[in-house]
Amino acid sequence: MEITLQGKTAFIAGGTSGINLGIARAMVREGARVAVLSRSQDKVDAAVAELNDIAGASTTLGFAADVRQGDAVEAAMAEAAEIMGPLDIVVSGAAGNFLAPAEALSSNAFRAVMEIDLLGTFHVMSSAFRHAREGKASFINISAPQASIPFWGQAHVCSAKAGVDMLTKTLALEWGPKGIRVNAIVPGPIANTEGMARLAATPELEEIAKVSVPSRRFGEADEVATAAVYLASDQAAYVNGAIFCVDGGQVVGGATLMQPDVLNMMSS
């Protein structure tokens, strides 16, 4: 069975680094034409250059915008669809994270993560609906184990990503009859990412994170990208509303028991 994205268009919000850039690379390799969006113009330019190298042509589009601004997301996606044609694939992966005990979170700290992860995903999904190929499109939200397991120092992220999972399922229900599939990917802890640099900044925390994964290792960005390519492909035509874990079993293992010392380590 050959999985290909040949001839498809993809818009990847947060696609300029880490896991989401890995997804963009894989989609370009499989033949999709890709647009990426994030806040930093420098990161956008670097990602576009790298993706053009893979494509062997200057076909990648880049947009500097903040997913918290619905109008800016809409303008970028409208321009992308105008240039590339209707969108076959939309990935919503922008997110913010830091470790902080709940009592240390200001209203603005909690709001910042809710607005990037959850409101941002709503903005990306709303625009995606308007610019999707009629009758056949695949939308993928990047969630996290935090959506279903409480983690120490992650009250803001757990709340936001739980919302992302439920938004995913609700949109799958509402948009399925229109030919739009909406799924989420739950990466476990992934090596060499900003996320894990923030959550496991010391060898001790890294060890705790690894022990919390039944497969006893961090995942690779490529392993997440393979799942994204599958969900985006026609082979996944009957997959809708799935919360698709690429997490070495972390969600079924339950990370909470492994982390009682995390807050102590943060403050020492």
Q: Which of residues 237 and 252 has its CB atom nearest to ligand NAP in the complex?
A: 252
Reading the block at residue 263, the tokens are 């807050």
Instruction: Residue 109: name its binding partner from ligand NAP, ligand HXC, none (Cβ under 5 to 8 Å by kind).
Output: ligand HXC
The C-alpha angle 109, 94, 8, rounded to 5 degrees, equals: 165
Smallest Cα–Cα separation from 23: which of 268, 191, 220, 265? Answer: 220
Q: Considering the rule CB under 6 A, would residue 262 count as an interface residue with ligand NAP?
A: no
> Measured between alpha carbons, how far is residue 141 from residues 34, 162, 214, 217 in Å?
16, 12, 24, 24
First-to-last alpha carbon distance for the chain, in angstroms, is 52
Instruction: Residue 98: name its binding partner from ligand NAP, ligand HXC, none (Cβ under 5 to 8 Å by kind).
Output: ligand HXC
Q: Which of residues 4 and 40 has its CB atom nearest to ligand NAP in the complex?
A: 40
Binding site for ligand HXC (CB under 6 A): 95-98, 100, 104, 106, 108-109, 112-113, 144-146, 157, 189, 194-195, 198-199
Q: Considering the rule CB under 6 A, would residue 133 count as an interface residue with ligand NAP?
A: no
Q: Which of residues 80 and 190 has its CB atom nearest to ligand NAP in the complex?
A: 190
Least spacing, CB of residue 177 vs ligand NAP, in Å: 28
Which stretch in 9-17, 132-140, 234-242, 259-267 sits in contact with ligand NAP by CB under 6 A?
A: 9-17
Give how far the C-alpha of residue 46 lies from the chain's centroid of Cα atoms, to the nearest Å.
19
Calpha distance 31→201 (Å, rounded): 36
The C-alpha angle 48, 52, 55, rounded to 5 degrees, equals: 140
Q: Which residues bind ligand NAP (CB under 6 A)?
A: 14, 16-20, 38-40, 43, 66-68, 93-96, 116, 120, 142, 144, 187, 189-190, 193-196
